[in-house]
Amino acid sequence: MKPAGGGSRRTFASRKTRSVRLRNEELEEQCRSSQAESRAKVQALANLAHDLRTPLNAIIGFAELMHDAKVGPVSPSQKEFLGDILTSSRQILGLIDGLQDPPPEAERRAVE
């Protein structure tokens, strides 16, 4: 003879366990999907940074050569313009580098 209510408790516990297991599987799948999306975003950002950095470094290099009069004489106003180009180019390069460096709170969340 079964104890009164004993079978229904086991059935409830079994359903609850199955429900928790299914929910855990759903959460694990969502986590895997989120991680894959994150990796794709990081890769796209790295590609973009590379595509921007390459011609920008060429601009900086040639502007430096001209600014330092290594390819011929430059007038004072040209030297000033070249200095502006160098300043702006280096600022943009710093922004690009900053895109790839996650803010400290993002690093902290990734570790957790």
Question: What is the residue extent of each domain of the chain?
Answer: 7-111
pLDDT the model gives residue 1: 44
Half-sphere exposure in the Cβ direction for 20 (13 Å, CA): 6
Tokens representing residue 14 in the block: 């079994």
Mean pLDDT of the chain: 87
Is 7's pLDDT higher than 70? no
Integer Cα distance of 91 and 88 in angstroms: 5
As separate numbers, helices (DSSP H) first and strands (DSSP E) second, the chain gives 3, 0
Structure confidence by residue, pLDDT tens digits, 20-67: 999 999 999 999 999 999 999 999 999 999 999 999 999 999 999 999
Residue 4: which pLDDT band, with cuts at 50, 70 and 90?
low
Integer Cα distance of 103 and 112 in angstroms: 15
What DSSP designation does 67 have?
H
Residue 11: which pLDDT band, with cuts at 50, 70 and 90?
confident
